[in-house]
Structure 1
Amino acid sequence: MASMFVTRVIPRVSKVPILMPCRFSRQRLPPEYRKQYLEKISNEALDKYRKSDFVAYPALKTQRLWEVQPQEPKKETKRLYQELVPHFIDPRYRDRLRERLERCEMMLRRRNLDIPEFYVGSVVAVRTADKFAPDQSHRFMGICIERFNEGLWTKFTLRNVIEKTAVEIQYELYNPTIQSIEVLLLEKRLDRNLLYLRDAPLDESRFPFDMSRIPYNPSDPVPINDKKVKLLPPPWAFKWYLHGYRGIHDSMYDYLTPQQLSEIQDKINLVDRYDLMKMYRSRLCLEEERIALGDVQIQHQDLIRHHEQRRQELIDKHKETRRTDKTTAHGGR
C-alpha cells in the first residue's frame, strides 16, 4: 500500500520536513518566483566589456541585446494583452531578455489561437483536445473565478455546477491543446478573484451549458458587476473576512465571534499600508510597463496582418473551390 501513494519530502524553514503528494509538486511556477534568475554579473561590468578592445563585433559596443525601440502603446493594448505585462516581483530576480523572448513566443502562439479579452467574473467557454472523447474534444464553460501568473505561465480557473456538484477546471492560457476560447458574457467583478464562491450557495456558480453569447461592443468600457454574494454559515475554507473582499455581503459579519472581529481590527492597524518600499516592490514601474506594451504593439500589428492574410487566403481558396465545382458540373452536362 505504501507504493500507491508517492510523496516527496520538502524541507521547511524550521528544518522539520513535511510530506507533499507529487500531484501538488507538479504545479509549475515562473522561474522568477523560484528565484532562479539571480544576477551573476552586473550591467556595469557588461558595459565595460562591450566598450573594450576585446569585442570583435562593433555593434555590441553601442547596443545591448535586450534593448528595443518600442512604439507608443495604445489604450486597448493593455486590455488585450494583460498577461504580457512583466511580473510584480523583486527586480533582482527578473531576466528582461527572457521576458522579451517569452512575449515573442506568446504572440506566435496567438496566430493559431484567438485569445479574447476576459476578466475575473466573465463567463467563458473553453474547448480542448481530448483523445478519449467521442468527437476528440471536450468543452467546458463557467465563470472565471481566478486568473493568476503572467506570461507563458498564465492560468485561469472556470467554475460551474454539474448535477448539484461544483466543478472547477484550471487551464493554462497558452496550452497548445486548447482549441478555442469563447467569451459568452464579458464583465468584471469587484474583487481580483472569486474564490469565496466555494463557500457560497451553488446558485451563484450555476450557468447553463447552452447559454448563448451576449454581444458586446469593443469600444464600450467593460461593465462591472457589483453583486454582493451571501456566504453559507461557517465553517469556511478560508478566512475571507481578513482580506477585504468587496463582493461579499455584509451578512458574513453576523457569523463572526468577538475574537474574529478583533482579528479584523488588528489587520486594520497593521503598518503595511504605510510601507513605501513594500508598495514599490509590489507594483509595476510605469516605464517598464510602457516598454513591454510598446514592444507588444509592434508584434500586434504583425499579428493583425497575419490574420488578414490568412483570411484572404481562405476566401481565395473558397472561390477557387466553387469555380472548380461549376466547371465540373458544366462538363458533366
Structure 2
Amino acid sequence: MSTSKFKEWKLVIVGIAFAFLWSSASTATKIGLTSAQPFVISIFRFLIAGVIMLFVTHIVLQNRMPAKREWIQIGIYGFLNITFYLGLYVIAMQQVSAGLGSLAVATNPVFIAMMSAFWFSHRIKFKNILSLVLCFMGVILAAYPLLQNSYATPFGILILLVSMVGYSLGTIYYSRVNWNGLNILTINGWQTIFGGAFLSPVLWATYRSDKNIFDISFWTSVCWLAIPVSIGAVQFWLFLLKNNPIKASYWLFLCPIFGFIIAHFMMKEPISFYTVFGVAFVICGLYIVQKKSKI
C-alpha cells in the first residue's frame, strides 16, 4: 500500500471513530442527567479527562509545557470549545432528546464553512457545496421521524444551536492559531482544565445537593464522557483538523447517524427507512469531499 493510500485510509478510520464517539455524548449526557445537575456532570467530566491527559502528556511522554503566548491561546480555545460550547450543550440536553442533540452537531459544517469563507477567505468549490447539500439532505431524512416524535422546547433548541456556534468558532480558532509544535494531547488536556475552571463559578452558584445522586448512572455517564469522548474523540478531532479543517468538518455529518443508532439501542428511539436513505446520502457526500476535494 502506498503512503498516500495509507494516509487516506487512516483519515477514514479516524473520522469514523471520531463520529461514533462524539455522537455517543448526547446519550451519555441524557443518562447522567437522570442522576445529577448538568454542571456537576461537566465539572467531573472535565476534571477526570484533564488530569488523565496532563499526566500522560507531561509525566509519561515528557512533552513540554505551553509557553507564555500559548497559555492565552489555550485559554481562549478552552473557553470556546469547553466552557461556551459544552456548558450550553449540557443545559440544552435537559430539554431535547438524545437524537436531536446528535442532530445539532450536523449544523457545524455549515457554520464552519460560512465563517471560514467570511473571515478567512477560504474558497468553497462546487464539489464542496454539492457534498454539503447531500450530507445535509441525508441528515434531514434520517432525522425526520425523530423530529416528529422527540420531546424538545424552543428554548432547548435555541441553546443547542447557540452552543454549536461556539463549537464552530473554537474549531476555526484552533485551525488558524500557530501552536509552535505543541503536542495535541497537551493542548487538549489544558484546554479541558481551563474550560472546566471557567465553569466553576456557575457550578458554585447553581449547586443543590438534593439534585445529585452519585450512583452507577452518574459515574458511567461521567467516565464515558471523560475518557472515550473528551480524550478519545477530541484527540481524533484535533488530528483531523490538523490535516484539513474544512474536510474534517464533514465527518460531523456522520454524528447524527451514529447518534440515532446509539439512542435506539440505549433509549429505544426509532430507526426507519428514512434513516437508511439518510445514511446513503451522507456516505455519498462524504465520498465526494474526501476523494475529490483539493482544498
TM-score (norm 2): 0.21
| Structure whose residues are more often strand by fraction | 1
| Structure whose residues are more often helix by fraction | 2
TM-score (norm 1): 0.20
* Structure number with larger C-alpha Rg: 1
